[in-house]
Copies of this chain bind each other. A is one copy, B any other.
Amino acid sequence: MANALLRRHMAKDLSFSQLAWGAWRLRNSTDIKNADDILALIRACLDAGITTFDHADIYGGYGCEAYFGEALAKAPELRHQMEIITKCDISLVNTARPDHRINHYNTTKPHILQSVENSLASLGIDHIDLLMIHRPDPLMVADEVAETFSQLRQSGKVGHFGVSNFKPSQFNLLQSRLDAPLITNQVECSVLELAPIFNGTFDQMQQHRIHPMIWSPLGGARLFTDTDDVCANRLRPVLEHMRDKYDLPGIAEVAIAWLLHLPSQVIPVLGTMKAHRIADATKSCNVTFERQDWFEILVAAQGHPVP
């Protein structure tokens, strides 16, 4: 099964696994009690062919990177089998950041440099494979970000750069100042959040041959349980039908497989903390939907036939 995962070409010297694993729930999951549990999960990912690990400084109240780093310190040889992503810029009110009075963004050079130092120290690594600007900052001085990226690359601390939640115009602005391509834009997309499919975001990505990363690829718990959500209720029987037709473990795998058919060749970030779900998720990569089945899911998601 693991061998079924494709590699996504991200840059001349970097590829990601077709699915990534994301740390944002690492500190509030009952499945993870200590660093050993994390290590087991890391091994489950690697065994399944998932080599790409997605972090952000803010995840878990500025705590997930260090927690993950604690696990990685127990098996440092694994570092060379994985790609590590982290993000900067969002600045949250949190006891770990006593000088923050209000949630805000910060793309200044001092903030980005400090954020990278923190992430390297917390993760216990000396190189970040991909650093992202986490959210568009209305105060972003693109020249300053470009200079900062340049310095981080030259120092060897960061290999590549990307963005998250950027609109096409924001992507174009930052890209215009860089001497290397942004290698991805991580955005929200799922059967419950179709916006980037239709608002130009994925068109831009396909045009520039960039693989988008996808956060919240299941659209949250409401796909599975919320009986008041009209859209989720409309989708559930269709996804269940496809689960049975394509012999998938659950509707989560149908929803992930549906994303994997997008022509921009996205990389969904899985948020599960359960090893068996990791193995299940990789089955999403083995499916080729009939085109009409993909549209049946789209129509259920939109609530109307295609025009």
Chain B nearest CB from A259 CB (Å) reads: 11
Chain B residues near A172 (CB-CB < 8 A): 203, 207
Can you list the 3 inter-chain pairs with the closest CB atoms, starting with the nearest?
A: A169-B200, A104-B295, A169-B203
Contact B306 A103 (CB under 8 A): yes
Residues of B with C-beta under 8 A to A298:
138
- Total interface residues on A, using CB and 8 Å? 42
Contact with B along A267-307 (1 / 0, CB 8 A): 00000000000000000000000011011101100000111
Q: What is the oligomeric copy number?
A: 3
Min CB–CB distance A112 → chain B (angstroms)? 13
Q: Are B101 and A263 in contact (CB under 8 A)?
A: no
Q: How far is the CA of A197 from the CA of B170 in the complex (A)?
A: 11
Interchain CA distance A306-B165 in the complex, whole Å: 13
Which residues of B sit under 8 angstroms from A100, Cβ to Cβ? Answer: 292
Whether, in the assembled complex, A204 has its beta carbon less than 8 Å from a beta carbon of chain B, the answer is: yes
The docked-state distance in angstroms from the alpha carbon of A61 to that of B172 is 41
Interface residues, chain A, with chain B CB atoms under 8 Å away: 100-106, 108, 135, 138-142, 165, 167-170, 172-173, 176, 197-198, 200, 203-204, 206-207, 261-263, 291-292, 294-296, 298-299, 305-307
Determine the chain B residues whose CB is within 8 A of the CB of A307 once the complex forms.
135, 165
**A176 contacts B207, C-beta separation under 8 Å:** yes
> Is A206 within 8 A of B142, CB to CB?
yes
* A254–B185 alpha-carbon span in the complex (Å): 35
Shortest Cβ gap from A211 to chain B (Å): 14
CB distance from A212 to the nearest CB of B (A): 13
Residues of B within 8 A of A165 (CB): 307
User: In the complex, what distance in Å separates the CA atom of A243 from the CA atom of B120?
Assistant: 40
Q: Are A142 and B263 in contact (CB under 8 A)?
A: yes
Q: Say whether B291 contacts A139, CB under 8 Å.
A: yes
CA distance A103 to B304 in the complex (A): 11
Pairwise interchain contact A102-B173, C-beta atoms closer than 8 A: no
Which B residues are in CB contact (< 8 Å) with A108?
291
Give chain B nearest CB distance to A182 CB in angstroms: 14
CA of A298 to CA of B307 in the docked complex: distance in angstroms?
27
In the complex, A151 Cα to B165 Cα: how many Å?
A: 38
Contact B263 A106 (CB under 8 A): no
Closest to A197 in B: B138
Given contacts A167-B200, A203-B169, A261-B139, contact A291 B106 (CB under 8 A): yes
CB neighbours (8 Å) of A295 from chain B are 102-105
Knowing that A105-B306, A142-B206, A173-B207 touch, tell me 4 more A-B residue pairs with CB under 8 angstroms.
A100-B292, A138-B298, A139-B263, A139-B291
In the complex, how many angstroms separate the beta carbon of A103 from the nearest chain B beta carbon? 5
